C-alpha cells in the first residue's frame, strides 16, 4: 500500500496553528472597545461605526516593518516589531485627521512556532492599546518552501474614521505658522538596510555590544513611537501634520505644503539621537536627512498663538516656520 502523506508532512501543522490562536485570545481581547461586534474566530471582524460624525469618511492605511524585521528574527527579540507594525499604519491615518478604529495583521512564515508568533501578536496588541484601536482580525499563513523556517513577514492594515470637512489640511497651511517637532523613539522603521550594511557589514559590530549603556540591538529594535493620543489631545490646535518616515523631513513634510509655501527647518534645533550622531560619522549629511527621521517622528504645523498650548501638552519643540515659496523644505 502506498504511504499516505499528511499536511504536516508537507510542513504545515494545523495543531500548532490552533494552539497559537488559543494563546493570543486574551491579548487580542484586551484591545477591544465597545464598537467591536462578536469575538475571535469568525470569518470576518465586525466593528460598529462610531456616532457623532456629520459626514464620516473611512480611511485606511497599510504598511510593514521593512528590514528591521530581519534584525528581530536574527536576534530572537520578537516582542516589539508588532508595535512597529501598528505604528507605521496609525501614524499615517492621523495625518489625514483620521481616528484609528481597528487593525488587522497578516503574519506569513515558513514554519509556525506558536511561542514566537505569540510574541509578535503580543506586540501588535500592545501597539493597538497604545493607539486606542481594536485588533479585530488577522491571518497566519504557514508556507514552507516560500519562506525558510525562521523567516516570517508582517503586514498591517489600519482603518480609521474622519470628518470629511476636516480632511483637507493643505488648504489650511499658511505663511507664519510654526513647525513643531515631536521626538521619535529611535530609528523607527525606515533606513534599516543602510543601518545593517553600515553597522554589521562594514563596521563589524555585534548586536550585543554596548551603545549608550544599552545593547546595540535594543537601540535598533526600539519600537516606533505612536502619536495617536497626542493627536487626540491637541487636535483642535493642529493645522496639519506629517509622519516622518522613509525620505525623512525633506520628503515627507512637503506632502502637507501648498505649492506656494516653503518650510524652513533649523537643523541646529533638531534634537538628534545618539544613534544618528554615530551613523552620521559614516554617512553624508544629505543622505542622513533623506533616509532617517533624525530624531523627529512627526512634524506638526501649528498657528503661532497655539504653540504654547501644544508644547504644554506634549514633548514637542519648535524647529522652524513657514514662509512664501514653492512647496519645498529648506534645511538651514
The 10s digit of each residue's pLDDT in 207-229 is 999 998 899 999 999 999 999 99
Q: Which helix (H) or strand (E) holds 219?
A: helix 216-220
Cα 15–chain centre separation: 32
Q: Which residues of 309-324 are buried (b: 16+ CB within 10 A; e: fewer)?
A: ebeeebebbebbbbee
Say which range, 18-22, 43-47, 179-183, 264-268, has the weakest mean pLDDT.
Answer: 18-22
Query: Which of 144, 166, 188 is the last residue before a domain boundary?
Result: 166
Instruction: Provide the domain count of the chain.
Output: 2
Portion of the chain with pLDDT greater than 70, in percent: 95
Convert the pLDDT of each residue in 10-62 to its tens digit. 556 666 666 777 778 888 889 999 999 987 777 888 999 999 999 999 999 99
- From CA 309, how far away is CA 144, in angstroms rounded? 54
Which segments of 89-248 are extended strands (E)? 99-109, 134-142, 152-163, 178-183, 210-211, 214-215, 240-243
Residue 305 lies in domain: 170-331
Torsional sign, CA 72, 119, 110, 88:
negative
pLDDT band at 190 (very low <50, low <70, confident <90, very high): very high
For residue 108, is pLDDT > 80?
yes
pLDDT of 17 reads 65
Q: Looking at the structure, tell me whether residues 21 and 124 fall in a common domain.
A: yes
Q: Looking at the structure, tell me whether residues 124 and 75 fall in a common domain.
A: yes
Q: Looking at the structure, tell me whether residues 175 and 134 fall in a common domain.
A: no
Residues β-bridged to residue 105? 138, 156
pLDDT band at 7 (very low <50, low <70, confident <90, very high): low
- Whether 238 is covered by a domain: the verdict is yes
pLDDT of 8 reads 65
Cβ neighbours of 168 (radius 10 Å): 11
- Whether 249 is covered by a domain: the verdict is yes
Amino acid at each position: 500500500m502506498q504511504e499516505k502523506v499528511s499536511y504536516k508532512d508537507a510542513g504545515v501543522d494545523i495543531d500548532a496553528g490552533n494552539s497559537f490562536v488559543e494563546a493570543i485570545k486574551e491579548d487580542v481581547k484586551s484591545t477591544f472597545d465597545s464598537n467591536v461586534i462578536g469575538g475571535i474566530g469568525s470569518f470576518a471582524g465586525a466593528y460598529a461605526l462610531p456616532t457623532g460624525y456629520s459626514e464620516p469618511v473611512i480611511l485606511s492605511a497599510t504598511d510593514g516593518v521593512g528590514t528591521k524585521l530581519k534584525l528581530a528574527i536574527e536576534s530572537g527579540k520578537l516582542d516589539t516589531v508588532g508595535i512597529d507594525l501598528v505604528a507605521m499604519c496609525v501614524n499615517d491615518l492621523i495625518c489625514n485627521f483620521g481616528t484609528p478604529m481597528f487593525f488587522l495583521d497578516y503574519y506569513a512564515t515558513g514554519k509556525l512556532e506558536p511561542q514566537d508568533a505569540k510574541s509578535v501578536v503580543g506586540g501588535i496588541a500592545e501597539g493597538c492599546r497604545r493607539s486606542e484601536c481594536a485588533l479585530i482580525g488577522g491571518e497566519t499563513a504557514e508556507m514552507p518552501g516560500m519562506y525558510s523556517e525562521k523567516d516570517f513577514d508582517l503586514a498591517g492594515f489600519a482603518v480609521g474614521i474622519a470628518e470629511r470637512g476636516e480632511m483637507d489640511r493643505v488648504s489650511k497651511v499658511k505663511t507664519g505658522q510654526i513647525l513643531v517637532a515631536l521626538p521619535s523613539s529611535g530609528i523607527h522603521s525606515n533606513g534599516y538596510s543602510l543601518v545593517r550594511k553600515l553597522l554589521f557589514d562594514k563596521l563589524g559590530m555585534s548586536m550585543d555590544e554596548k551603545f549608550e549603556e544599552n545593547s546595540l540591538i535594543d537601540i535598533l529594535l526600539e519600537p516606533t513611537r505612536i502619536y495617536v493620543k497626542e493627536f487626540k489631545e491637541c487636535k483642535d490646535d493642529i493645522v496639519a501634520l506629517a509622519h516622518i518616515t522613509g525620505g525623512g523631513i525633506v520628503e515627507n513634510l512637503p506632502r502637507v505644503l501648498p505649492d506656494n509655501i516653503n518650510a524652513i527647518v533649523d537643523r541646529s534645533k533638531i534634537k538628534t539621537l545618539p544613534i544618528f550622531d554615530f551613523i552620521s560619522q559614516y554617512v553624508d549629511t544629505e543622505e542622513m536627512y533623506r533616509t532617517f527621521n533624525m530624531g523627529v517622528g512627526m512634524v506638526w504645523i501649528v498657528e503661532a498663538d497655539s504653540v504654547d498650548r501644544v508644547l504644554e501638552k506634549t514633548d514637542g519643540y519648535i524647529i522652524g516656520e513657514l514662509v512664501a515659496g514653492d512647496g519645498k523644505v529648506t534645511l538651514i
